[in-house]
Amino acid sequence: MEIHKIEGIIEAVLFAAGDAISVDKLSDITKIDKPTLQSIITRLADKYDTEKRGIKIIKIGDKYQMATKDEFSEYIQKIVPPQKRNPLSNATLEVLAIVAYKQPVTRSTIEKIRGVNSDNSVTRLVEIGLIEETGKLNAPGRPALFCTTDDFLRSFAIESISSLPPIDGFIIDDDGQTTLGSGED
């Protein structure tokens, strides 16, 4: 199959689906192996970029989705009024960080790391759809396991969990201060 045709198929399928489509599914549709397909999608995404189009193709975990480019947000806001949300509390954000790096993770693991009960934060994160219960740990009491969602990747503009900076990269130097981040407090 010609590369242009494959690009066309991917474009059409992503447009029709709206929602994110996995590489597996796209590979199924086009009968093209995944590595080749991924490079074709990357090429297509680059094309959108260089041709100054209004849309882009983004990667969410192992899925691809069409989205509008950030630079046009002010125009889109004229047809889609923005939704407001209060920033997450420090505690909730800490829980989110733990889930993001330690997933799948139980409530008790989160509590152990933070040294304080975190059920409210977990509930809040599930409520706003940033984390979800993905199963049960095969241990006494069968505690729920939590993972981050595609919505988490989308709203934090993170490509995939594996693309997060390594947790050990948040260095604590000898005087117990400073980090990769822009400082504390």
Partner 1 sequence: MKQISFKLEIFEGPLDLLLHLINKNKLSLYDIPIFEITEQYIDYLAEMEHFDIEVSSEFLVIAAHLLYIKSKMLLPKYDEDAADEDDPQVELAQRLIEYKRFKQASLFFREREFAGGLTFYKMQEYIQPMLIDESLSQVELSHLYGAISEVAERIKYRRPISNSRFKAVAGKEVVSVFSRVKAILSKLKRFNRVCFSDIFKGMKTKSEAVASFLAVLELIKLNRIKIMKKDGKSELRYVKGKC
Footprint of partner 1 (CB under 8 A):
16-19, 58, 65-70, 73, 76, 80, 82, 87-88, 90-91, 93-94, 96-98, 100-101, 113-117, 154-158, 165, 167-168, 170, 172, 174-177, 179-182, 184
Q: How far is the CB of 1 from partner 1 (least distance, A)?
A: 21
Q: Which one-letter amino acid corresponds to residue 174?
A: D
Q: How far is the CB of 114 from partner 1 (least distance, A)?
A: 5
The nearer residue to partner 1, 48 or 101, going by C-beta atoms, is 101
The nearer residue to partner 1, 14 or 37, going by C-beta atoms, is 14
Q: How far is the CB of 152 from partner 1 (least distance, A)?
A: 9
The nearer residue to partner 1, 87 or 140, going by C-beta atoms, is 87
CB 96 within 8 A of CB 125: yes
The nearer residue to partner 1, 140 or 181, going by C-beta atoms, is 181
> Do you know the residue count of the chain?
185
Q: How far is the CB of 24 from partner 1 (least distance, A)?
A: 17
